[in-house]
Amino acid sequence: MARERSLTLPDYIVAGPGRTGTTWLHQVLEGHVDLPYGIKETLFFNRFYDSKGIDWYARHFRFATGDRPVVELCGSYFFKPEAVERIKLHIPNCRFIMTMRDPVDRIYSEYKLMRHFAAVRRGTFEEVLDAWPTLAGGGRYASRIKAFAEAFGRENVLITMYDELRTEPQKYLNRVTDFIRIERIALSERPGLGNEVNAFKRAPKNRRLARRAKNFEFWLRGRQAYGVYQLLKRTGAWEFCFGRGEIFPPLTPEQDASLRARLLPDVEALEEFMQIDLSAWKRPRAPRTIQASPAPPVAAISQPISAHD
């Protein structure tokens, strides 16, 4: 099925995975590409596809100029097999950007997000991993990259590294803008931007309130009431509902080592597929480095993955 000619849909999707700097990249790209109106990520291909339909999705891009690439950044699509099929149906020529982050760091960050938004009941990291095995499955990068590459062509999938975003953000951004085929963006002209990403430091003080707030957020999203959503964000209402509780502790050395052992086959699968060295993802962290300083950066592989065929 060809892309619907009457609808404006993305040319590029930054498909995640989540917790890899998509919020930062969205802020950088604003004004240089056409993004969804009023919101960063629509969640269409994983949450609203059946209930809303493609016209609802296209409405997010109704103000696209036609002179710039149309882009959505949605980390939720990466681990959803149905998202690949749905995007292929409606946007068969779509191109993708994906950022790989140390899977242990990413999974623990995802755990904190789930706790912050009360998606899971109060529990230790190990308890949540046992109750939500898909959370640990969030380290299976190779199989998901392969799914996108097989559906859309390897030359249409750009793989970047989170370490590069944090240590050399301009170099990281240059790879992205070159792939999107827009003029490079000088970060030196935006000194207030930094290279920080969203972090969730606390659990909700009241889980019932947080759950109700999250359901209300989805209700607003489904109606594209993004003005109300953003107003509540600016006034601190969301943080009041989702935060103020206990501070999340860093991973212990034992937790770090256990999870790295569990994810080792997946890391090795990505090494083989990408033909890169991911030794830094295999070594357990020393106690003092778990929170204070990042691991040695992984070699940046930020070109379309067809280059390694």
The string of pLDDT tens digits covering residues 183-229 is 999 998 877 665 555 678 899 999 999 999 999 999 999 999 999 99
Helices (H), 181-225: 207-222
So what's the pLDDT on residue 2? 46
Give me the amino acid identity at 169. P
Which residues touch 107 (CB under 8 Å, ≥6 apart)? 135, 136, 138, 139, 259, 263
d(CA 90, CA 102): 32
**Regions of the chain with pLDDT less than 50:** 1-4, 288-294, 306-309
So what's the pLDDT on residue 255? 93
- Give the largest CA-CA distance in the chain: 56
d(CA 124, CA 120): 11
* Neighbour tally for 27: CB within 10 Å: 14
Which residues touch 9 (CB under 8 Å, ≥6 apart)? 3, 54, 57, 58, 61, 70, 90, 91
Domain ranges for the chain? 12-201+248-308
Q: Are 14 and 21 spatial neighbours (Cβ–Cβ below 8 Å)?
A: no
Q: What is the dihedral of CA 157, 158, 161, 165, to 10 degrees?
A: -140
d(CA 43, CA 86): 12
What are the strands, taking DSSP E only, across 79-229?
95-100, 157-161, 202-204
**Which residues, listed in sequence order, are joined to residue 14 by a DSSP beta bridge?**
73, 97
d(CA 39, CA 125): 30
So what's the pLDDT on residue 298? 59
So what's the pLDDT on residue 303? 54
Per residue in 42-60, pLDDT (tens digit) is 999 999 999 999 999 999 9
Q: Which numeric CATH code is attached to 12-201+248-308? A: 3.40.50.300
Both structure tokens of 212: 């109700």
How many angstroms separate the Cα of 90 from the Cα of each of 3, 51, 52, 132? 5, 16, 14, 31
Phi, psi of 136 (to 5 degrees): -65, -30
So what's the pLDDT on residue 133? 79
Both structure tokens of 238: 């969301």
So what's the pLDDT on residue 131? 84
Q: Are 286 and 257 spatial neighbours (Cβ–Cβ below 8 Å)?
A: no
So what's the pLDDT on residue 6? 75
